[in-house]
Amino acid sequence: MPYFSTPLPEALVRQSRSQTKFTTVMHSNHEICTESAERVQAEFNQAMETNIITRTVAPVPGIGRLHAVALTIPNCLPERLAALTRFAEFTILNDDFYDIAKNEEINKINDDIQSVLNGAIELSNSTESNMTKSKQFQASLILDIVNIDADLAMEILSTYSKGLELATFAPDTLKTLDDYLPIRMINSGLDVFQTMSCFGMGIKLSAEEKEQLSDFVNTAMYSTTLINDLHSWPKEVAHHIEHPGSEYPFNAVAILMRHGGLSEAEAFVRLRERQAQLQERHLTLLRALEAAGPVPESHMLYILAAQYAASGSEFWSELVPRYPSKQDVDQPEVEFVGGAFRYRTGTITPDIHCAVKAAAAVKTVTEENDTVTKSHTNGFVNGHTNGVANGHANGHKNGLTNDHTAHCSNSDTNGLTNGHTNGDHKNEETFFLKSLETVECKSDLVLAPYNYLTSMPSKGIRELFITALNWWLEVADDQLVCIKDVVSFLHQSSLMLDDIEDGSKLRRGQPSTHTIYGLGQTINSANYIFLQAFARVRSLGHGRPEILDMFIDELENLHRGQSYDLYWKDHVHCPSVDEYLMMIDNKTGGLFRLCVRLMECLAKRSTRGISSENFVKQLSQYFQIRDDYQNLVSDQYAKEKGFAEDLDEGKISLPLIYTLQSSPYRDAIMRVFKHRDLCGGNTGEMGMEMKTFIIREMRKTGALEKTYQLLRAMQLELMDELRRLEEAFGTPNASLELVLRMLWIE
C-alpha cells in the first residue's frame, strides 16, 4: 500500500511548541480535507438554519490551511478522504449545535441554573425538529462511508456501541492516572478514532492481531489522551466554575489536583512528563518489534496511525483557532480548595507556563480545548447512539420505577407482636386491621426480572426503527415515547416467556431471566410488564377504540404465530416454506406492524395513498430469517447465546427446513430432534457431535448457502421498498436506510 503522508518540517513543529516524540506528518492531499470540511459546514448550516463556524482548520505557516483529519489520519486513501473528513467535521458541527441549543435554553431560564445542569429542560419543538434534521444529516454521512466499505464502517459503529458502558464510567472512582487513562481513552473516543483510521487506510485486522498490537496502540493513545486533557482543561474548568453544582471536570489535571494534591502548574508538568514517558515506551516497543524481524505493512500502518493521532492532535491543537488558551482568555490560575475548583484571586500568573517551560525546555504550553479526536467521536456517541439509548431507557424503565413502589414492608410483623401484648382481643383485632391498612405492596419484586433483562446490552433495533420512521410520520414527541414504551414492554415480556418456552439458558450472553429468578417469578413479571404495555396504549389513545383494536389485533397475531412455532418444535414437524413465512408474518411481524400502525394513526403528516404494509412484511421476514442464519454461523451469536442454540431448543428454522427437504439423512435428523435431550446426555442441550452433524448436512445440501442467497436478495428487495416509500413521502430517509444496513449480511 502506498503511503500518503508527508513529514512536516522539524523547525515548523518546534515553532508550534509541540512536545511530541513522534514524527508529525500531513496528508499529501490535505486540500481535500479542507474543502470537504468547509462544504459540509455550509450544507449543515443551510439544512439546520444555523450559522456555526467550527474553526477546525489551522493556519500553518508556509503550508496553508490544514484540517485535523489531514494531520491525524495522514495515510487515508485519497478516495476515502472526503467522506471521512465530512463525517469527522459533521460530528464537531453536531457538538456545537447541541451546545448552542443548550445555551438558548439556559438563557430562557436563568433563574433555574441547577435544572439546566441536570438536563431537566424540555427542548422546544423547533429545537427538537432541528435535532431530528441533525440525525438525518448524520445518517446520510454515515451511509457515505458504509457505501465505501461496509465492513470497516460497521466496525466503527460497533466500536461506538461497545464503548458506551465504559464511556460513562463514574470519574469519582478514578484516583490515579493508571486507573484513569484506560477509561478516559474510551470516553474521549480514541478507540473509535483508531477504527476510523483503519477505515481510512482500508486496513482489516482480526481481533487477535489488534490484541497483539494493543500495547503499541495504548501507549500512543494514552499520550493522546493527556494531550487532549491538557488542551481541553481551560474550557472544561471554566464551565465547571461558572456553573455551580456541575460535576468535576473529567480530566487528568483534575485527577492530579483533587487526588494528588498538586497545583495546576504542577499537574501540567506531571502530565507532560507522563506524556513523554508513554511515547518513549511506545518507541522502545517498536524498536524491539522491528529488531525481531519484518513487520507486516498493515501492522506498521496500524501502529503509525496511533502515533499520528498523538502528534497530529498536538500540532493541530497548538495552532487551530478553535480553542483559546488560558492566556488568550486571560484565565487566572485555578486552585482546588475545600473540595472545589476556583480561580485564584488576582490577575493571571505565569506559574504554569514557566513551570512547563522549565520541565520541557520549550517556550510555553498552550492550554486549549479538546482535539478533533475527542470532538468527532464524542459528537457521534452523544448525538446519535446515546440519544436513542438514553431517550428510550429513561422513557420507560425509570417511569416504571417511579410510578410503582418497592416490595412489601415488614411492619405487619411488628403490628402482630404489639397487638398480642395488649391483651384485649377486640383492640388486638382493630390494631391488626389498622396494621394491614398501612402495609404498602410495592413493585420491586415483580419488576426485578424485567429490570435484569433490560440491563443486558441490546441493539435496540425496534426503537431505532421507530425513530427513523418518524422522520416521515412526524408523531408528537410524547406519543412517540409512548409507542416506544409499548413496543419495548411487549418485546421484553415476550423474551422472558420465549426463553421459558424454548428452554434457553442464555440471553445476550448472560443467564436467561428464568434461570436467575425462577419460572414463577419470571412469568409473573412478564405478565405485569404486559399490563404496563396495555396501560400505555390506553393512555396513548385517550379512549380511542381504534388504538386498542390495533393493540389487540397484533397481539392476537403474535400469539397465533407463536403457537405454530411451539407446535412444530414440540411435535418435530417440518412445515413448508410458505407455512414458515406465515408464522413469521404473525409472530415477528406483529410488533413491527403494531408500531407502524400506531404511528400512522397518530401521524401529523398524511399517509393517505401510502402503504407500508409490504415494507413491514419484508422487514419482519428478513429479521427472523437473518436470526435463523446467524444463530447457526455467527461467532458473535455463539458467544451471546451458545453455539447453534436453536438446535438445542429444537427450533424449526428456515435452514433446517431446506435441509430436511433434500437431505438423505432426513429421518436421522428428525430422530435427533425428537431425542435431543438424550443426545446431549440429559443436559437439556443437543450434543456437540449431533450439532456438528446437522450443520454439516446443512452445508452439504446447500441449505445455508440457499438461506444466505435469499437474505442477499431480500436486502435488495428491502432497498427497493425503501426507495418506493422515499418517493411516496417525497424525501429520503437516511436514518431508516442506516438501520437496515446495520442488519445486512455481507
DSSP structure string for 293-351: SPPPHHHHHHHHHHHHHHHHHHHHHHH-TTS--TTTTTPPPEEEETTEEEEPSSS--SH
147 found inside a domain: yes
State whether 335 and 222 are in the same domain.
yes
**Burial of residue 576, with CB atoms counted within 10 A of its CB: 0-12 exposed, 13-18 middle, 19 or more buried:** exposed
Long-range contacts of 612-615 (CB under 8 A, 24+ apart): 612/725, 614/721, 615/718, 615/721, 615/722, 615/724, 615/725
Distance separating alpha carbons of residues 309 and 88, to the nearest angstrom: 14
Which pLDDT band, with edges at 50, 70 and 90, does 162 fall under? low
Name the DSSP class of 7: E
CB 4 within 8 A of CB 78: yes
Bridge partners for 337 per DSSP? 340
- Chain Cα centroid distance, residue 13: 37
Highest mean pLDDT among 152-156, 337-341, 373-377: 337-341
Range of the domain at 711: 448-743
State whether 512 and 370 are in the same domain.
no
Among positive and negative, which fits the CA dihedral 101, 94, 719, 712? negative
Long-range contacts of 262-265 (CB under 8 A, 24+ apart): 263/333, 263/335, 263/351, 264/333, 264/334, 264/335, 264/351, 264/352, 265/333, 265/351, 265/352, 265/354, 265/355, 265/356
Q: What is the pLDDT of residue 131?
A: 54
Q: What is the mean pLDDT of the chain?
A: 81
Q: What is the pLDDT of residue 330?
A: 86
298 HSE (CA, 13 A, CB side): 10
φ and ψ of 175, to 5 deg: -120, -10
Q: Cell numbers for 207, please give them.
A: 481481533
The yes-or-no verdict on residue 566 having pLDDT over 60 is yes
Question: Which is higher by pLDDT, 364 or 572?
Answer: 572
Helices (H), 243-296: 252-259, 264-291
Q: What is the pLDDT of residue 545?
A: 87
Q: What is the pLDDT of residue 361?
A: 41
Which pLDDT band, with edges at 50, 70 and 90, does 540 fall under? confident
What would the mean pLDDT of 629-648 be, rounded to a whole number? 77
What would the mean pLDDT of 599-621 be, rounded to a whole number? 91
φ and ψ of 325, to 5 deg: -90, 175
State whether 358 and 462 are in the same domain.
no
Determine the straight-line distance between the first and last CA of the chain, rounded to whole angstroms.
24
Which pLDDT band, with edges at 50, 70 and 90, does 680 fall under? very low
Q: What is the pLDDT of residue 113?
A: 27
Q: What is the pLDDT of residue 169?
A: 52
Helices (H), 542-612: 545-571, 577-587, 589-602
The yes-or-no verdict on residue 34 having pLDDT over 50 is yes
CB 408 within 8 A of CB 439: yes
Q: What is the pLDDT of residue 438?
A: 65
Which pLDDT band, with edges at 50, 70 and 90, does 643 fall under? confident
Q: What is the pLDDT of residue 664?
A: 93
What would the mean pLDDT of 684-693 be, rounded to a whole number? 80
State whether 358 and 489 are in the same domain.
no
406 found inside a domain: no
The yes-or-no verdict on residue 354 having pLDDT over 90 is no
φ and ψ of 242, to 5 deg: -80, -5
State whether 366 and 479 are in the same domain.
no
Q: Cell numbers for 626, please give them.
A: 437473518
Q: How many domains does the chain have?
A: 2
CB 134 within 8 A of CB 473: no
The yes-or-no verdict on residue 380 having pLDDT over 50 is no
The yes-or-no verdict on residue 292 having pLDDT over 60 is yes
Model pLDDT for residues 718-735, shown as the tens digit of each residue: 999 999 999 999 999 988
Which pLDDT band, with edges at 50, 70 and 90, does 607 fall under? confident
State whether 294 and 166 are in the same domain.
yes
What would the mean pLDDT of 618-639 be, rounded to a whole number? 87
State whether 594 and 706 are in the same domain.
yes
Model pLDDT for residues 568-590, shown as the tens digit of each residue: 998 999 999 999 999 999 999 99
CB 213 within 8 A of CB 397: no
Which DSSP helix (H) or strand (E) runs through 506?
Answer: strand 506-507
402 found inside a domain: no
Of 144-153, 252-261, 429-438, the least confident: 429-438
Distance separating alpha carbons of residues 10 and 157, to the nearest angstrom: 36
Domain boundary among 380, 401, 417: 380
**Cα 300–Cα 196–Cα 723 angle in degrees, nearest 5:** 140
Residue with cell 435441509: 659
Helices (H), 634-702: 635-641, 645-649, 654-662, 666-674, 676-679, 688-700
Question: Which is higher by pLDDT, 328 or 56?
Answer: 56
57 found inside a domain: yes
Model pLDDT for residues 464-490, shown as the tens digit of each residue: 889 889 999 989 888 999 999 999 999
What would the mean pLDDT of 607-629 be, rounded to a whole number? 92
Domain boundary among 359, 380, 401: 380
Distance separating alpha carbons of residues 309 and 306, to the nearest angstrom: 5
Distance separating alpha carbons of residues 417 and 421, to the nearest angstrom: 7
Q: Give me the percent of the chain exceeding a pLDDT of 90.
A: 47
Q: What is the pLDDT of residue 397?
A: 38
Which pLDDT band, with edges at 50, 70 and 90, does 178 fall under? very high
The candidate with the shortest Cα–Cα distance to 482, out of 534, 544, 549, 552, is: 534
What would the mean pLDDT of 317-321 be, rounded to a whole number? 85
Question: Which is higher by pLDDT, 710 or 495?
Answer: 710
State whether 348 and 462 are in the same domain.
no
Q: What is the pLDDT of residue 472?
A: 92
State whether 273 and 166 are in the same domain.
yes
686 found inside a domain: yes
Q: What is the pLDDT of residue 362?
A: 36
Distance separating alpha carbons of residues 705 and 497, to the nearest angstrom: 32
398 found inside a domain: no
409 found inside a domain: no
The yes-or-no verdict on residue 12 having pLDDT over 90 is yes
- Provide the phi-psi class of 261: left if phi over 0, else alpha when psi is between -120 and 50, else beta: left
Highest mean pLDDT among 43-52, 80-89, 100-109, 276-285: 276-285
Q: What is the pLDDT of residue 235?
A: 87
The yes-or-no verdict on residue 280 having pLDDT over 70 is yes
Question: Which is higher by pLDDT, 507 or 338?
Answer: 338
Among positive and negative, which fits the CA dihedral 220, 224, 227, 233? negative
Which pLDDT band, with edges at 50, 70 and 90, does 319 fall under? confident
State whether 334 and 470 are in the same domain.
no
225 found inside a domain: yes
Model pLDDT for residues 542-564, shown as the tens digit of each residue: 768 899 999 999 999 999 999 99
Distance separating alpha carbons of residues 341 and 242, to the nearest angstrom: 10
CB 452 within 8 A of CB 522: no
State whether 198 and 336 are in the same domain.
yes
SS3 (DSSP) at 262: coil
Q: What is the pLDDT of residue 542?
A: 74
277 HSE (CA, 13 A, CB side): 8
What would the mean pLDDT of 367-372 be, rounded to a whole number? 36
Q: What is the pLDDT of residue 436?
A: 54
Tell me the chain's radius of gyration from C-alpha atoms.
Answer: 30
Domain boundary among 380, 415, 438: 380
Tell me the CATH number at 322.
1.10.600.10
Name the DSSP class of 456: S
- Chain Cα centroid distance, residue 211: 22
Distance separating alpha carbons of residues 659 and 641, to the nearest angstrom: 22
Q: What is the pLDDT of residue 129?
A: 55
State whether 495 and 621 are in the same domain.
yes
Model pLDDT for residues 88-139, shown as the tens digit of each residue: 898 788 777 766 655 544 344 333 323 322 333 333 344 445 556 767 887 8
How many separate helices (H) and strands (E) can be counted in the chain?
Answer: 36, 8
Q: Cell numbers for 431, please give them.
A: 390494631
Residue with cell 478514578: 174
Model pLDDT for residues 192-237, shown as the tens digit of each residue: 889 999 999 999 999 899 999 999 999 999 999 999 999 989 988 9
Q: What is the pLDDT of residue 32?
A: 96
CB 704 within 8 A of CB 629: yes
Distance separating alpha carbons of residues 136 and 735, to the nearest angstrom: 6
Model pLDDT for residues 243-267, shown as the tens digit of each residue: 888 889 999 999 999 999 999 999 9
- In sequence order, the 6+-apart residues with CB closer than 8 A to the CB of 34 are 57, 64, 65, 66, 67, 70
Distance separating alpha carbons of residues 317 and 368, to the nearest angstrom: 7
Separation in Å, CA 379 to CA 55, 350, 372, 463: 16, 34, 10, 21
What is the DSSP pairing of strand 340-343 with strand 506-507?
unpaired
Distance separating alpha carbons of residues 500 and 567, to the nearest angstrom: 15
Q: What is the pLDDT of residue 324?
A: 74
